[in-house]
């Protein structure tokens, strides 16, 4: 779809959804004449309208409202705009106190307009579709409480959510995705699959259960393998630093509200929200020659940031997390090559996880910045030329760079087409100044290195949340916490099942024997619910022939085969990492 078509569609949907919210308000007033109306705007995915009514809406109410709406749509009622004087408007909305409040807030020089369809007239700037018949496909979705004007000291209204699309198929597609997103909610799957849990004594700090910890550690292991290939050096740095350090790094001035502090020996200490200052100390702990550069320090250290309770959401917004964090200390001339290598590593990684469509945003110099124009010119040119070479589309964002340097952010859509920001690479001219970092150049002079902050996956905790939803919990074999469940049909098959287990474990595979009392089909269903990639079923025939009957999570049944063959099958799947 071309950009202009896509933006036409966006505008059409906005109008249609706005009109649907009017139609909904009209229907509510027919059913609840005493209802007081709040506001009813379109949103990115649909629309809502806020109502003050004497009792909570029930699912049956929503159905009745939807039916009334269908009738109004069937009547092809035109939307008619009207300009009113303030006096007329005050009369018109005399029994709608929230509307009167809005009215009072409209500046005197602005016109007062309403839109009417049928007998319902609403204070509104528009625009709307021509008639109610233009609302091609719609559905009411849910109700939730919402304070008037978002202010908890004001009355709580009921917000009814709905959505509308230009065609039934588009609506169906959206509803399916919504259903799928609910089914894949990582908070739900996290519990069902025994991956992680939360507890109020540690707000927004996940507990990874054995299976979740397995996946977490596999992600770290994967990144470590990349680090070996791409020349990174892992370090382990403290978590608690005296505030002097945070003052020097600028975090105390700019980031303090998001930090946790503690006290000892009459000194204030900050728990690290980032690894950079620690890495700057490591860099500065010895004289560095240009021949050593680039120095690439990687650190899986746990970070703590005080996110407000309101914005917390499962694993995707937490207070305690580790990152695949690294800092590259290099010469300005090395920015190009280091960024290129980073993007190579990142593309290799995203592809592995099935994130094919990487979108990039290049944030350029802001007005308030440090570093000379010459340095910015070269840094921005280096980033641009790397992105151009990579042949990937990117959006320049003038003025959006940090004061300390330009950056590239990387976004990917998951299996449900929801976009996540994962990676980032940020040039930093400030940190080397603040920590007086140097290297001895070829001519013996002392020079400032540049620092590149970079992460591919970002917070591993959040990335695991994204992955759970992306895979719907069905991790590929290399990441699956349990790669195969061995299912003895009867008690007499358990001994051989243990042999199979030992054999697979000896190959380094993660396997379990289900020796419970359930029947085979229940055991298979259980393994499928747990999204285990391979099921190895053992009955008389398999035990006698030293084989196993292989079934896949997908429902396929490759059938009975010798144990060696089945082992090779699982090993191949795990090694291929797809």
Is 448 catalytic? The answer is no
Q: Three-class SS of residue 447? A: strand
The active-site residue out of 158, 323, 334, 530 is 323
Comparing CB distances to a copy of itself, the nearer of 272 and 369 is: 272
Crossing angle for the helix pair 210-230 and 335-352, to the nearest 10 degrees: 140
Listed residue (233, 236, 269) closest to 251, CA to CA: 269
The conformational region for residue 505 under phi > 0 = left, psi -120 to 50 = alpha, else beta, is alpha
- The residues, any chain, with a CB within 8 Å of residue 459's CB and separated by 6 or more, are 318, 321, 322, 323
Does residue 287 touch a copy of itself according to CB under 8 A?
no
Does residue 521 touch a copy of itself according to CB under 8 A?
no
Does residue 309 touch a copy of itself according to CB under 8 A?
yes
Q: Three-class SS of residue 363? A: strand
Does residue 475 touch a copy of itself according to CB under 8 A?
no
- For the bound state, the minimum distance from the C-beta of residue 291 to a copy of itself, rounded and expressed in Å, comes to 9
Structure-block tokens of residue 164: 């509308």
Comparing CB distances to a copy of itself, the nearer of 319 and 369 is: 319
Strands 295-299 and 233-234: parallel
Does residue 216 touch a copy of itself according to CB under 8 A?
yes
Site string for a copy of itself, 14-53 (x = CB under 8 A): ----------------------------------------
Does residue 545 touch a copy of itself according to CB under 8 A?
no
Distance, CA of 117 to CA of 74 (rounded, Å)? 13
CA torsion through residues 506, 507, 511, 513, sign: negative
Does residue 292 touch a copy of itself according to CB under 8 A?
no
Structure-block tokens of residue 54: 């004497």
Strands 407-413 and 359-363: antiparallel
Does residue 240 touch a copy of itself according to CB under 8 A?
yes
Does residue 207 touch a copy of itself according to CB under 8 A?
yes
Does residue 273 touch a copy of itself according to CB under 8 A?
no
Is 336 catalytic? The answer is no
Does residue 517 touch a copy of itself according to CB under 8 A?
no
Crossing angle for the helix pair 3-31 and 59-74, to the nearest 10 degrees: 110
Is 327 catalytic? The answer is yes
Tracing tokens 């292991």 back to the chain, one arrives at 221
Does residue 239 touch a copy of itself according to CB under 8 A?
yes
Integer-rounded Cα radius of gyration of the chain: 30
Distance, CA of 101 to CA of 148 (rounded, Å)? 11
The active-site residue out of 276, 288, 365, 493 is 276
Does residue 575 touch a copy of itself according to CB under 8 A?
no
- For the bound state, the minimum distance from the C-beta of residue 217 to a copy of itself, rounded and expressed in Å, comes to 7
- For the bound state, the minimum distance from the C-beta of residue 150 to a copy of itself, rounded and expressed in Å, comes to 21
The active-site residue out of 453, 470, 510, 551 is 453
Does residue 209 touch a copy of itself according to CB under 8 A?
yes
Comparing CB distances to a copy of itself, the nearer of 178 and 258 is: 258
> Residue 111 has what DSSP assignment?
P
Is 22 catalytic? The answer is no
Does residue 512 touch a copy of itself according to CB under 8 A?
no
Burial 469-498 (b: 16+ CB within 10 A, else e): bbbbbbbbbbbbbbbbbbbbbeeebbebbe
Spatial strand order of the sheet with 36-37 comes to: 36-37, 47-52, 156-165, 137-147
Does residue 105 touch a copy of itself according to CB under 8 A?
no
Does residue 280 touch a copy of itself according to CB under 8 A?
no
Residue selected from 79, 208, 353, 410 as contacting a copy of itself according to rule CB under 8 A: 208
- For the bound state, the minimum distance from the C-beta of residue 140 to a copy of itself, rounded and expressed in Å, comes to 36
Is 304 catalytic? The answer is no
Does residue 202 touch a copy of itself according to CB under 8 A?
yes
Render 221-235 in DSSP notation, one character per residue: HHHHHHHHHHT-EE-
Is 323 catalytic? The answer is yes
Is 305 catalytic? The answer is yes
Does residue 205 touch a copy of itself according to CB under 8 A?
yes
Listed residue (283, 285, 308) closest to 296, CA to CA: 283
- Applying CB under 8 A, which part among 112-120, 204-212, 430-438, 446-454 lies near a copy of itself? 204-212
- Applying CB under 8 A, which part among 106-114, 125-133, 303-311, 563-571 lies near a copy of itself? 303-311
Does residue 223 touch a copy of itself according to CB under 8 A?
no
Structure-block tokens of residue 390: 């990579």
- Euclidean distance between the first and final Cα of the chain, in Å? 30
Structure-block tokens of residue 257: 């509200």
- For the bound state, the minimum distance from the C-beta of residue 197 to a copy of itself, rounded and expressed in Å, comes to 6
Residues carrying an active site annotation: 276, 305, 323, 325, 327, 407, 453
Binding site for a copy of itself (CB under 8 A): 197, 199-203, 205-210, 212-214, 216-217, 228, 233-242, 244-245, 260-265, 269, 271, 278, 281-282, 285, 297, 302, 304, 306, 309, 319-320, 505
């Amino acid at each position: 779809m071309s950009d202009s078509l896509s933006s036409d569609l966006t505008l059409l949907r906005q109008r249609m959804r706005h009109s649907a919210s009017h139609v909904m308000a009209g229907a509510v007033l027919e059913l609840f004449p005493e209802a007081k109306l709040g506001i009813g705007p379109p949103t990115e995915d649909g629309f809502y309208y806020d109502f003050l009514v004497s009792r909570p809406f029930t699912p049956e109410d929503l159905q009745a409202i939807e039916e009334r709406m269908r009738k109004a749509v069937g009547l092809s009622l035109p939307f008619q705009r009207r300009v009113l004087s303030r006096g007329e408007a005050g009369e018109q909305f005399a029994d709608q106190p929230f509307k009167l409040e809005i009215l009072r807030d409209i500046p005197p020089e602005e016109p007062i307009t309403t839109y009417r369809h049928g007998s319902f007239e609403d204070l509104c700037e528009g625009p709307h579709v021509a008639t109610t018949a233009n609302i091609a496909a719609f559905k009411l979705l849910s109700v939730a409480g919402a304070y008037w004007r978002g202010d908890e000291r004001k009355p709580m209204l009921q917000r009814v959510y709905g959505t509308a699309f230009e065609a039934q198929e588009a609506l169906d597609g959206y509803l399916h995705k919504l259903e799928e997103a609910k089914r894949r909610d990582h908070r739900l799957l996290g519990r069902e699959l025994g991956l992680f849990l939360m507890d109020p004594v540690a707000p927004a700090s996940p507990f990874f259960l054995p299976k979740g910890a397995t996946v977490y550690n596999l992600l770290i292991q994967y990144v470590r393998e990349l680090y070996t290939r791409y020349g990174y050096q892992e370090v382990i740095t403290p978590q608690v630093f005296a505030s002097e350090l945070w003052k020097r790094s600028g975090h105390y001035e700019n980031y303090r509200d998001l930090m946790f502090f503690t006290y000892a020996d009459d000194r204030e200490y900050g728990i690290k929200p980032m690894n950079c200052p620690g890495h700057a100390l490591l860099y500065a702990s010895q004289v560095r020659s240009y021949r050593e550069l680039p120095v690439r320090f990687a650190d899986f250290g746990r970070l703590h940031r005080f996110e407000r309770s309101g914005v917390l959401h499962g694993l995707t917004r937490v207070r305690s997390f580790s990152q695949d964090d690294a800092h590259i200390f290099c010469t300005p001339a090395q920015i190009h090559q280091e960024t290129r290598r980073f993007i190579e590593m990142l593309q290799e990684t995203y592809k592995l996880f099935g994130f094919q469509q990487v979108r990039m945003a290049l944030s350029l110099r802001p007005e308030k910045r440090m570093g000379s124009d010459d340095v910015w010119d070269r840094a921005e040119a280096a980033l641009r030329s790397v992105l151009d070479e990579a042949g990937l589309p990117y959006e320049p964002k003038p003025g959006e760079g940090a004061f300390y340097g330009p950056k590239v952010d990387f976004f990917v859509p998951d299996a449900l087409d929801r976009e996540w920001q994962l990676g980032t690479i940020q040039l930093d001219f400030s940190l080397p100044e603040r920590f007086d970092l140097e290297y001895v150049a070829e001519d013996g002079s002392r020079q400032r290195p540049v620092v590149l902050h970079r992460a591919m996956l970002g917070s591993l905790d959040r990335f695991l949340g994204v992955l759970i939803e992306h895979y719907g919990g069905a991790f590929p074999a290399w990441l699956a916490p349990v790669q195969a469940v061995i299912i003895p049909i009867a008690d007499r098959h358990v001994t051989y099942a243990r042999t199979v287990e030992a054999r697979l474990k000896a190959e380094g595979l993660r396997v379990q024997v289900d020796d419970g009392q359930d029947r085979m089909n229940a055991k298979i269903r259980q393994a499928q619910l747990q999204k285990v990639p391979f099921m190895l079923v053992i009955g008389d025939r398999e035990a006698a022939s030293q084989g196993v009957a292989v079934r896949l999570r997908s429902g396929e049944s490759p059938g009975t085969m010798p144990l060696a063959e089945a082992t090779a099958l699982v090993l191949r799947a795990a090694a291929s990492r797809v």
